[in-house]
Amino acid sequence: MTRCLAARWAVLCLFPLAARAAELDVRVIAASTAGQQVDASLRDIEPLLRRHLNFTSFELVKRGTIRLPSEGRPLALGDVAIRCLGGQERLAITIEQSGRVVVQTQTSLRHRHPLVFSGLPGPRGTLLIALLLR
């Protein structure tokens, strides 16, 4: 009886941790070499953007969230759509722009380690797609 209660208590204590889904913060960013502005909502990833990309200005265009694990439903952010299939340990990512697949990859994500895709053409420069696990 004591073992049974201890096992039930352990399951109930651990259940909220297992049931909590991770969220993927998805940001579409216009990047250019015109100016030095950085949108305030990008401050958390600004050092990464400046260190690894040859742009000086970063403006948030659209933002959304995908719950993980995901079943592949698209998140539409303007003319960009992001589909994720799977969980953070094995995540298939497809990015479409104007209905055309421009990125298709599989990766694993870690908290506080953004993944940035660059090179999509945009009306105000180059579009970046930044993914951050929360």
* Tens-digit pLDDT profile for residues 69-83: 999 999 999 999 999
Q: In Å, how far are 104, 107, 127 from 36, measured between CA atoms?
A: 31, 32, 16
Tell how far CA 106 is from the center of its chain: 13
* Nearby residues of 65 by Cβ (< 8 Å), 6 or more positions away: 23, 24, 25, 26, 75
Question: Residue for token digits 């589909």?
Answer: 83
**Residues 128 and 28: beta-carbon distance below 8 Å:** yes
- Stretches in the chain below the pLDDT threshold 70: 1-20
0.85 exceeded by the pTM?
no
Question: What pLDDT was estimated at residue 125?
Answer: 87
